[in-house]
Amino acid sequence: MAQGRRTGLGVLLACLTWFAHASELPVALEPEAASMSILMLGPDNNYTTEFQAELTKRMPPSLTLTVDADVARLAVALGEDAFAQALRLDIPVIGVHVSRSTLQAAKDAGCLCSAVYREATTAAQILVLREMLPAARRVGVLIGPGFAGDEQRLEMPGVLFEQRSVSNAQQLPAVLAELLPRVDVLLALPDPALYNAETARLILLSSYRQGKPLIGPDEQFVRAGSLAAAYPSVEGMIEATLKLLQHDGLPATVPEPVYARAAVAWNVHVARSYGVIAPDIPAIEKRLEAQQ
């Protein structure tokens, strides 16, 4: 069982991933005038409402939320479906919990948009690996067509990273069979083409059979059987969204995308099966915060 933040907002990440329908959320306008009205879009559920409520409490008086797309000067979109919906509006968009590849595709298409990424950084996943498996010396990494990170960040003193390029999911069985016997652990970096609901069983069973734990790519894989992963915390997403909303150039210009402060998910049962001592999760999360 993976441990996570034990608040009502703690399941928001999964909801943003799996809920398919985005809708405009009813929000009471502040009585005083504001310099910029913001339209918020997201899955029509309680978790989005809670995120919105927390964001509203912390917004400066110069910002207010509206339900009227005609007067909004900016849209905040929770999740990738809402982000796609917001891009059809003729206003700048800030996505929250949006993948690097999705944002890049939107920018390539000419959008005026930015985002709080749904992934943790490569450096954050490496730190989690080091803390969970300090004896690991050879780390396997699959680089697929959906990887939008920075391969140059794959470095850790005393560790050799064995990288393999995978052009499609059909190559996974052969590549895993060749790579896993050569490494101590498999580091899964966010790549929807390789790590998804269809490939999870193959990857996790292959790692179990070879006795090689999987680190990453997110909290959903941890629930399915990955040992541990860094992922964007709900509090971190709120903080990062506020930071983007206070960019001086809005709405004429948008800020650079950001990563949210990371939390750590780990699977107790998987840890026991590999003989991993229970980690000090708060200490690891403090190191992640210091890393940013």
Torsion of CA 240, 246, 250, 255, to 10 degrees: -40
Report the alpha-carbon distance of residue 62 to residue 55 in Å, rounded: 14
Helix 200-210 to helix 172-179 angle (10° resolution) is 20
Report the alpha-carbon distance of residue 23 to residue 69 in Å, rounded: 12
pLDDT in tens, 249-282: 999 999 999 999 999 999 999 999 999 998 999 9
Within-domain flag for 3: no
CATH number at residue 114: 3.40.50
210 and 243, same domain (yes or no): no
First-to-last CA distance in the chain?
A: 28
93 and 127, same domain (yes or no): no
222 and 237, same domain (yes or no): no
User: Contact at 8 Å (CB) between 190 and 218?
Assistant: yes
The token duo for 85 is: 């919906």
* pLDDT value, residue 82: 97
Report the alpha-carbon distance of residue 50 to residue 134 in Å, rounded: 38
23 and 88, same domain (yes or no): yes
* pLDDT value, residue 48: 87
CATH number at residue 208: 3.40.50.2300
Within-domain flag for 28: yes
What Rg, from alpha-carbon coordinates, does the chain have?
20
Phi and psi (nearest 5°) for 69? -65, -25
What residues contact 110, with CB distance under 8 A and at least 6 apart? none
Phi and psi (nearest 5°) for 150? -115, 110
* pLDDT value, residue 292: 75
93 and 13, same domain (yes or no): yes
What one-character DSSP code corresponds to residue 216?
A: -
Q: How large is the greatest C-alpha to C-alpha distance in the chain, in angstroms?
A: 64
169 and 285, same domain (yes or no): yes
Domains: count for the chain: 2
pLDDT in tens, 24-57: 444 333 344 447 999 999 998 887 889 999 999 9
Within-domain flag for 1: no
Q: Is the peptide bond before 157 cis (omega within 30 degrees of 0)?
A: no
Helix 46-58 to helix 234-245 angle (10° resolution) is 50
pLDDT in tens, 174-202: 999 999 999 999 999 989 889 999 999 99
Q: Distance from CA of residue 249 to its chain's centroid?
A: 26
- The candidate with the shortest Cα–Cα distance to 13, out of 76, 97, 80, 93, is 97
213 and 223, same domain (yes or no): yes
Report the alpha-carbon distance of residue 77 to residue 102 in Å, rounded: 13
The boundaries of the domain holding residue 65 are 8-118+233-260
The token duo for 138 is: 């050879």
194 and 225, same domain (yes or no): yes
218 and 143, same domain (yes or no): yes
Mean pLDDT of 88-105: 95
Mean pLDDT of 87-105: 95
DSSP 138-193: EEEEEE-TT--S-GGG---TT-EEEEEE-SSGGGHHHHHHHHGGG-SEEE----TT
281 and 149, same domain (yes or no): yes
pLDDT in tens, 198-234: 999 999 999 999 999 999 999 999 999 999 999 999 9
